[in-house]
Structure 1
């Protein structure tokens, strides 16, 4: 555990090499082994090299199957508990319309989780509804999306301490890393 609490990397939609050549170099410099305890990946990694890379970053790695993932052993969804928080993880192609908060709310209630993490849209978003939280870390590579014309490469690191969660939101904007912060509290 770090001074910030238990750290979780939220990442997904890399699509390497199908839609992106590589992870941005500036992200690679930040994402090194031993910095986070957990990884939640929304799928569509693309190649085994990056799947193995993710597994080398932390001791606890949770990956769900994206609509482009060919590995049939990857689960469609997962629910994991970290501290006081119950977290659901899906790719997001199962949600219709894609990224719809009401549809995500239905899945959140089905999983009975405090936070639902999904991807698929490649658009970074952090929202709440009825005291529950919905996070999409976007695409770590900025891979093409048919529903979002301008995709900024992004990922999120969450720090869990008791009933509080702090999000550090990393985006690549004009070649520079932008970091923003958000906080959640569990009632």
Structure 2
């Protein structure tokens, strides 16, 4: 029965970042705070630019398995620039994204992911939620959790939920544009 359960219902991960609280936004939208409650996800992946200790502490309440990387505005010394997390068959590589020049460029992101020998790159910095397949790898960006100004524009608040299965990764893209909308993509594991 557990084999069926594992394949049918995978572990969940929250991918979130670019809060910039209080620098560019007062708080996470209340609609998101209502959805993001403790013990609903097994993992939290934060792409950086959290902004304050309260927000980082709140993220840690969502899962006992919380992973952070440092954004270009984060000043916390103990947070790494990059991180690799293995979840089942999936090797997840995390980086904020300002280090990859030009930032937001799929070619530089893919090159970095390939060098790290990962399956999925979790990156932020652009403020725009995006899921991209390049070769046999994936680049996912949760966008900005608050929709805070990213230096070029105000973005739509967003985050991602990942459902890890043995041979595929379900990605649920949550956006707040008047109301919460959810889009779904399925990413097959390709080794």
**If the length of structure 2 is used for normalisation, what is the TM-score?**
0.94
Contact residue 12 and residue 162 of structure 2 kept, 8 A: yes
**What is the SS of the residue equivalent to 1:54?**
helix
**Equivalent position of 1:75 in the other structure:** 80
**What is the SS of the residue equivalent to 1:71?**
coil
Distance in structure 2 (CA, Å) of the matches to 1:78 and 1:89: 5
What's the offset of the Cα at 1:59?
1.0
Matched, 1:141 2:137: no
What's the RMSD between the two structures over aligned residues? 1.2
1:21-32 aligned at under 5 Å gives the runs 21-32=26-37
**Equivalent position of 1:160 in the other structure:** 164
Distance in structure 2 (CA, Å) of the matches to 1:42 and 1:119: 5
Distance in structure 2 (CA, Å) of the matches to 1:54 and 1:48: 10
Distance in structure 2 (CA, Å) of the matches to 1:97 and 1:146: 15
Paired residue for 1:112, among 111, 114, 117? Answer: 117
- After superposition, the C-alpha distances for 1:12-59 in whole angstroms (9 at most, x for unaligned) are 000000000000000000000000000000000000001000001001
Matched, 1:180 2:183: yes
Specify every segment of 5 or more residues in structure 2 that has no aligned partner in the other structure, as ranges. Answer: none
**Equivalent position of 2:65 in the other structure:** 60
**What is the SS of the residue equivalent to 1:104?**
helix
Contact residue 129 and residue 144 of structure 2 kept, 8 A: yes
- After superposition, the C-alpha distances for 1:93-115 in whole angstroms (9 at most, x for unaligned) are 00111110000011101110000
What's the offset of the Cα at 1:169?
0.7
Aligned residue pairs total 185
**If the length of structure 1 is used for normalisation, what is the TM-score?**
0.96
Specify every segment of 5 or more residues in structure 1 that has no aligned partner in the other structure, as ranges. Answer: none
**Equivalent position of 1:45 in the other structure:** 50
What's the offset of the Cα at 1:78?
0.3
Contact residue 148 and residue 154 of structure 2 kept, 8 A: no
Paired residue for 1:15, among 13, 17, 20? Answer: 20
What's the offset of the Cα at 1:4?
2.8
